[in-house]
Amino acid sequence: MTTTDPRLGFIGLGAMGRPMALNLIQAGYSMAVYARRKESLAQLIAAGARAFATPAALAAECDVIFSVVTASADSELVALGADGIIHGARAGTVVVDMATISPLATRRIAQALAARGIDHVDAPVSGGPTGAQGAALSIMAGGKPQVFERVKPLFERLGKTILHMGDHGAGQVTKACNQLALTVTLQGVAEALLLAQRGGVDPAKVREAMLGGFAASRVLELFGKRMVERDFANGIDARLYHKDLDIVLDLAHGLGLPLPAAAVTLQQINALIGGGGGKSDFSRMIEVLERSAGDQP
């Protein structure tokens, strides 16, 4: 690290935020951290990070602040709440929100911060915990081009595909498109593997055949493997995809767009959560179909 390197802060140290913050520390950057759950701080403190009691206190010591929290309300609270970033950050500070939230909330946050001279980039990611650990995320960013260029060297420590998509909220719209395609594709994969099973053909072999043709996808490769192996313990909680599809459909409703496949898939996720699978990997969706087909009680 040199004296010209930015001082970084990271808020939200869960399955995604913790490895991302560690990658930045390992790249030589100084790091301030904040998390609501104190146990989330231990690994970062051991790596040399300094913990702060509030987002505002952290912001006062940082040039660039990353946040990865769960929902739109969480991002707004971290940025604009009573102890939020806005009350500690100086003009010229950059806030990088890497959570998946509503584009409308993103624009509200960016506008409020801009009134104080604080810059904002929305930069949701795709790649899951494995991508976060391996610094192989896909990062889709929205905000002023010059601010994006300022933080791009930091993004390069976190991901491999890094794109500026447009103005504030453009990153979130891009992520909504990503989640729409992912969730609907997963529904199709689950249906295909159930059809294979009920048709008397080994689903593992059907998946292998599909991976060699036009039906091949990362969803079939990764989630399909978990379905075949009945491995539902790892990955990202299914309940988070419910939140993401809510964002997708809210955006579509505001634009007057019908998204029938998204609506059906959301109802399937409702059934998965209702059956106790909300904290399991999203690949557990296949069990919803199996229950509907009478394969399970």
Of the candidates 144, 175, 225, 279, the residue annotated as catalytic is 175
- Per-residue burial over 158-179, b if 16 or more Cβ lie within 10 Å, else e, is bbeebbbbeebbbbbbbbbebb
| Contact criterion met (CB below 8 Å) for 62 and 88 | no
175 is annotated as an active-site residue: yes
End-to-end CA distance of the chain: 58
- 114/76 Cα distance (integer angstroms): 14
Residue 202 buriedness (CB in 10 A; 0-12 / 13-18 / 19+): exposed
| Matching residue, tokens 């594709």 | 185
| Matching residue, tokens 């447009």 | 166
Catalytic residue set: 175
